[in-house]
Structure 1
Amino acid sequence: PTSPAAAGCTATYRSAGQWSGGFQGDIEVTAGRTPIRGWTVTWTLASGQRVTQAWNATLTSSGSTVTARNASYNGTLGAGAKATFGFLGSGSGANPTPSCTATF
C-alpha cells in the first residue's frame, strides 16, 4: 500500500518475504515536487507483530506504532528522488499502510 502525499513525501510498503512466524518488509520513500532534508515514516503493526531488525533507517516502537527516521546518508532527497529501507518482523497479520512526513 501507498500513503497519500503528506507534507512532501509518500511511503510505499512492499512485502519482501514471509515465513512461519516472521516477515520482511521494504518501504520506499519518494520526495514530492520539492526537495526534502529528512523524512519520517510511521505505521501500525498488527496485533502480535514486532520489528526485530531494520536497515537504512532508525526505527523506534511505542506499542503497535513504529516510527522510522532517515539515516544520516539518505534523508536529503531531490524532487521525485527515492530512498528505501527495510525491516524484519515477527508475527503475522495484515501489511501496514505507512504515512510519510518530510522535513524541508
Structure 2
Amino acid sequence: MANAGSATPILLLLGVVPPVRVKGNGQLEIVETVGKFLGQVLERVGNETLPSEAELMARIPDVFCWISWPELDKCVRDAANSYTAGQDSGDASVKRIAAFIHNAVAWHG
C-alpha cells in the first residue's frame, strides 16, 4: 500500500472463499481477519507512509479478491473452449494447458 501510488494493489486469495480458516480463530470473514491482526502488523512494520488503520480497513473490499479452485478450473476451461489462435497448434497448446490445470486441481482437491 505504501508503494502503490495511485494504483490499487490486489491481494488474491487463491483456492479459498471466505470465510477463511485462521489458525486458532476458526473461520472468519476477511474484514474480521484483517481487523484482528492489522494493528499488530502496522506496529511491527512501523512504516509512517502507510495510510491509517481505519483507511486500510475501509479499502478491504477494493484490495481483497478470491477464487476457489473449482471456479478457477471452470474459468480456465471456459476460456480455453472459446479461444481460437487461428492455428491448430496454438489451439491445441491452450487446450493442453487447460487440461493440465484441470488435472492439477482435481488431483489436489
* TM-score, scaled to structure 1: 0.25
Q: Looking at CA atoms only, which structure, 1 or 2, has the larger radius of gyration?
A: 2
Which structure features the higher share of helix residues?
2
* TM-score, scaled to structure 2: 0.25
